[in-house]
A and B are shown apart, each in its own frame.
Chain A
Amino acid sequence: MAKAKITFEDIEQTVNVPAGTRVIEVSEKIGAGIIYGCREGDCGTCMMHVTEGWNNLTEPSVLEEKVLKENMAGRHDRLACQAQILGDCTVKPT
């Protein structure tokens, strides 16, 4: 299976993951500082900032776009419970 590396900047930890893994599945296991609530892309709690490899995450859905907008997301902010990892990227809590 295709692999990708995701780095959590706040705890300086990189994890090798199977492509398609959601960021939240990794971040909660290693205890990175991204917090989450509903896990369904509704509450906006899990917003994170993608510092590198923005294009290596799945495109945001219409719902995610809406929640990001409602929560005043900046450029390259994503929901950790929605974004799936396709290639190497670096993220940190917003």
Chain B
Amino acid sequence: MRGIAVSRSIDVSAHRQAVEFADGVYWIGALDPTLRSFDIILTTANGTTYNSYLVKGSDGVAVIDTVKENFSDEFFARLESEARYEDIKVIVLNHLEPDHSGALPELMRRAPQAQLYISQRATSMLKALLHGDENLPYTTVTTGDSVSLGDRTLQFLHTPFLHWPDTQCTYLEEEGILFSGDVFGCHYCDKRLFNDLVGDFRFSFDYYYAHIMRPFKKHVMDALKLIEPLKLSQIAPTHGPILRERPRRYVTHYRELSTSSLSQGIGSDEQSMIIFYMSSYGNTARMAEAIAEGAGDVDGVRVSLYDLEGGETDPFVDLIEEADALLFGSPTINGDAVKPVWDLLSSLAVVNLKGKLGAAFGSYGWSGEAVRMIEDRMRGLKMHIPRSGMRVKLIPTAEELEACHAFGLEIAEVLVGKSGSGGVIDFADLA
């Protein structure tokens, strides 16, 4: 049976055949139109697709990525419409997340002669995902490695952390097609399959980036260095439309999305310190102001003060991503920091905070747990806490406000490298 050729009226939900979109290159994925929530952290109003691909060469067939396990039937049906299991020479998994590795064990049973190509980082995951199938033969590959299908070649690009540690991309050299895994993907199910035919999926594309790729911006930039020099006729991701029309604009868009999202005026020679606080009777607020004044005395530090009571979480997340130092002030209420502080501190999974400077402060009545709890949370987010937090019992005195001023100044000096760095500290002094 022949695969279905592409026309304007394409409807891949109406059949279970492979769809040829370049000479000898087929989509053999599955549609999941009713899915509404993915990986707990994402919603989708349009379901999703699990895209799998088949490439025919003069010396064998390659399957690139599979589908979520309960969509195996659709995947195998499309595969069988175009290839025989005994001709499969190569299986590539661009990352091992179950939405793409679900049908792998069964595929390997049906095509035992096939060789599996994964990244080095994927090996320990393979064992943890395929309990009992631990003797699956595999080859690990990285940038510069390739595998031949006779007249065609699959090249591998090592693109770790997009969005799993084991992520790679696979490039079909002769056709200029990039099988990009989740990179350039989105949760958008449309039976018309191609970016020039489907509905407007720009929101879904950006939303996917924001929730899946954004925490790894640095890694995205590294990956783009490998991808940008490639001749690109089409990009074939594992979710959402195949990007056959003007594929390069998605690459450009990824670079834009990975560059600073705030176009405001903090100079590149300035460090940005943001102080967030909540205060019921104004005590923590007074501390915040004194700390801000102290920090503002240091050249090269731009200080911003925000009362969490007057803000929404999302814009603050953007600010936090761009900041160099983050201070949180909270009174202790019923033995805890206040909810808006936790709301903000629990909304930061989409940004990378590693190595940013952090500090906590707050007024308290008798026990004062909030400051330590905030510090622990910041440490959990891999931030650097150079000084232990500033606590004041009830209303700050003039001397205590002086101490807050000095505290702000000290943190700001650490930020610009005037103190703390180059020095020696004792392990026992680390909070």
Contacts and interface: CB of A to CB of B under 8 A. Distances in A.
Interface in B350-368: 354-355, 357-358
A44 B420 CA distance: 30
From DSSP, what is the main secondary structure of chain B's interface residues?
loop
Given A10-B355, A11-B384, A30-B384, A16 B120 contact: no
Given A11-B421, A31-B383, 16 more contacts: A10-B355, A11-B384, A13-B421, A13-B425, A14-B422, A15-B427, A28-B382, A29-B430, A30-B386, A31-B357, A31-B382, A32-B384, A33-B355, A43-B165, A70-B123, A71-B120
Interface of A: 5, 10-18, 21, 26, 28-33, 35, 42-45, 67, 70-72
A5 B431 contact: no
A35 B427 contact: no
Contact of A26 (B354, B383, B384, B427): B427
Contacts of A31: 354-355, 357-358, 379, 382-386
A27 B403 CA distance: 28
Contacts of B420: 13
B423 interface: yes
Interface of B: 120-121, 123-124, 142, 165, 354-355, 357-358, 379, 382-386, 417, 420-427, 430-431
Nearest to A7: B424
B163 to A, nearest CB: 15
From DSSP, what is the main secondary structure of chain A's interface residues?
mixed
Contacts of A67: 124
Contact of A15 (B417, B426, B431): B426
A29 B355 CA distance: 11
